[in-house]
Amino acid sequence: MAVPTDWRQRIGYQRDWVWRGWQIRYTFLPAPPERETVNPPIIFLHGFGAAIEHWRSNIPVLGQQHRVYALDLLGFGASRKVYTTYNIDLWVEQVHDFWQTLIQKPVILVGNSIGSLVCLLAAARYPEMVRGIAMLSLPDVSLREEAIPQWLAPLVMSVENLFISSPLLLKPLFSLLRRPKILRIWADWAYEDKSTITDELLQILAGPAGDEGAARAFCALCETSRRPQFSPSVRQILPDLSLPMLLCWGGQDRMVPFALASIFCDLNPRIERVDFEQVGHCLHDECPDRFNTILLTWIEKHFPPEKPTHPVQKVETACDV
């Protein structure tokens, strides 16, 4: 199956879904008929500041074997930008309700950064939904706080509290951050291979910042992302999980320390770790060919195709139109 060259065609069929009164964008790509009923579906979950388009080099490849979904988390991408209390728990409920409404079959969750946290908590809370999780860099807010020297902590907290408590400072900051030159600096920090920072990528990152309510949503995210309630502790959840887990990490990840990979792997023997040398935070986008191969190999190892109980037939649905 040929992969389209235009990224808009590579992300599948886009749809809108209303969740709790809010518009949510998702996309899906059906597998070939002979694969549709025997291989588990996959849901891709993006990281902070990203969107469905960040999986444009992964969706068409995985879609040759699996039905693939990707979801814009509330507040990101083309989903509604609302002023609410954002946290990992909120996005887990969004993913679960999406699954319950449109899929109702155990899936493999694949997440990058914050998306990995959503995968982790979803697997712990809704085991009937999740067969396995693949995490691409896994942040832990509690470990971040411990990493700050005690003598520096009061200063860091004071600066953070100043920004998160003042929309008068956050809104000008948002206007600054969405400028192309600043987005380029962010991409330079996130990507090790600078040749992968294309105009296409910058266009994808810049688009959502122009949506209605984007500035207010940014303020809400900043206000809640530093609170302890924003994210569960990875160290408390990981030891109790018994499903297959894949942990991929870029050796030059500047967003989430590469050293965390060893700490997390020590917590659960079921974690299979793959390091990506000379790769940054967004390894699925920076070296998609290698990542796609590793992910497919891991899936085939743990979730071999199920034997169909009846001849495979193409079932036409409204989603296939």
Please report the pLDDT score of residue 172 as a whole number: 58
* pTM exceeds 0.75, yes or no: yes
Please report the pLDDT score of residue 320 as a whole number: 42
Please report the pLDDT score of residue 295 as a whole number: 98
Q: In this structure, is residue 276 part of a structural domain?
A: yes
Q: In this structure, is residue 216 part of a structural domain?
A: yes
Name the residue among 96, 53, 97 with its Cα closest to residue 72.
53
Q: In this structure, is residue 293 part of a structural domain?
A: yes
CA distance 256 to 6: 31
Q: What is the DSSP string of 169-217?
A: HHHHHHHHHTSHHHHHHHHHHH-S-GGG--HHHHHHHHGGGGSTTHHHH
CA distance 72 to 25: 6
Q: What is the CATH classification number for the domain harbouring 225?
A: 3.40.50.1820
Strand, coil or helix: 114? helix
CA distance 197 to 187: 7
Give me the domain span that covers residue 174: 11-305
Q: How many CB atoms lie under 10 A from the CB of residue 22? A: 15
Q: In this structure, is residue 5 part of a structural domain?
A: no
Compute CA 1 distance to the chain's CA centroid, rounded to the nearest angstrom: 26
Angle at which helices 180-190 and 199-206 cross, to 10°: 110
Identity (one letter) of the amino acid at 275? D
Residues contacting 138, CB < 8 A, separation 6+: 113, 116, 117, 120, 234, 247, 249, 256, 260, 261, 264
3-state DSSP helix/strand/coil % of the chain, to nearest 5: 45, 15, 40
Residues contacting 270, CB < 8 A, separation 6+: 241, 242, 243, 244, 245
pLDDT by residue for the chain (321 residues), tens only, comes to 455 556 667 789 999 999 999 999 999 999 999 999 999 999 999 998 899 999 999 999 999 999 999 999 999 999 999 999 999 999 999 999 999 999 999 999 999 999 999 999 999 999 999 999 999 999 987 665 444 344 333 433 333 443 444 555 556 556 656 677 788 888 999 999 999 999 999 999 888 888 888 888 888 887 777 677 788 899 999 999 999 999 999 999 999 999 999 999 999 999 999 999 999 999 999 999 999 999 999 999 999 987 765 554 444 444 443
Q: In this structure, is residue 192 part of a structural domain?
A: yes
CA distance 163 to 274: 37
CA distance 246 to 136: 8
Q: Is the dihedral of CA 62, 63, 69, 70 positive or negative?
A: positive
Q: In this structure, is residue 1 part of a structural domain?
A: no
Q: In this structure, is residue 181 part of a structural domain?
A: yes
The phi, psi pair for 68, rounded to 5°, reads -120, 135
Domain count, the chain: 1
| H or E stretch at 276 | strand 271-276
CA distance 205 to 181: 12
Residues contacting 300, CB < 8 A, separation 6+: none
Please report the pLDDT score of residue 149 as a whole number: 41
Name the residue among 45, 81, 80, 77 with its Cα closest to residue 206.
77
CA distance 76 to 140: 20
Q: In this structure, is residue 3 part of a structural domain?
A: no
Identity (one letter) of the amino acid at 67? R
* Burial letters 112-148, b for 16+ CB under 10 A, else e: bbbbbbbbbbbbbebeebbbbbbbbbbbbbebeeeee
